[in-house]
Structure 1
């Protein structure tokens, strides 16, 4: 679900802003997009209400990234017994004008798959960003 729609309280809005800043700290050329999904009926059917989705766009296609746009999906799970909601993983996908070029999921083995892959340096920075995101969203509330 678009990050702009998920920032329904101060704590969550603050964590979303922190996530954007963590990404921009690693990749200062990125421009954030808190509404990566269009608001049409077909897209609405595909949106996962248990995720926070943030897009990032770069000026041109980078040889290091092998893409121009990045979609970050922070996946959540609501435990029915404890009623705790926690981040269970991060999925990152890189897109060019040809469509999806690569994907990284922290839910399985943290490996990149796809037609191309980002450079080793970018890959390590992305994995570090994913670790920071999981830590951020699973940190107990200060309230």
Structure 2
């Protein structure tokens, strides 16, 4: 579901902003899209209400970041890159082996950066300030 629609509380909005900043820190020219999905009946039928979806223009194409949630706890991240004609170039998932799959995977350095960002996203979403205060 579009991140813009999922930002229903200050906590979630701040977490979404933190994720955008993580990407912009590593990819300075990245432009976030908090509404990567069309708002039409066909698209809405396939939307996952338990995800937060953010689009970025990263090389070599449009990159979709999907955060899979259980309540407000992050359980997985899926990142997919699409070429100019909409074909999937590669995908990455933190569910399973954390591998990049596809016909045109990104360079190793790019893969390492996305894995590091993914670890940081888990820290943003699953950090419990009350447990660290004790």
Fold-level similarity (TM above 0.5): yes
For 1:50 and 1:74, how far apart are their aligned partners in 2? Answer: 8
Q: TM-score, normalised by structure 2?
A: 0.92
| 1:71-110 equivalence runs, <5 A | 71-78=64-71, 85-98=72-85, 99-110=87-98
Which structure dedicates a bigger proportion of its chain to helix?
2
Q: Deviations over 1:41-64 (max 9, x none)?
A: 010011100100000014xxx4xx
**Which segments of 5 or more consecutive residues in structure 1 lack a partner in the other structure?**
79-84
2:22 is paired with a residue whose SS is helix
| 1:4-43 equivalence runs, <5 A | 4-43=4-43
For 1:43 and 1:131, how far apart are their aligned partners in 2? Answer: 29
For 2:38 and 2:57, how far apart are their aligned partners in 1? Answer: 16
Which structure dedicates a bigger proportion of its chain to strand?
1
For 1:39 and 1:141, how far apart are their aligned partners in 2? Answer: 35
For residue 122 of structure 2, the aligned residue among 130, 134, 142 is 134
How far 1:18 moved relative to its partner? 0.5
**Which segments of 5 or more consecutive residues in structure 2 lack a partner in the other structure?**
none
The count of residues paired between Structure 1 and Structure 2 equals 129
For 2:45 and 2:120, how far apart are their aligned partners in 1? Answer: 30
Shift >2 Å, 4+ stretches: none
Q: TM-score, normalised by structure 1?
A: 0.86
Q: CA RMSD in A?
A: 1.2
Q: Partner residue of 1:112?
A: 100
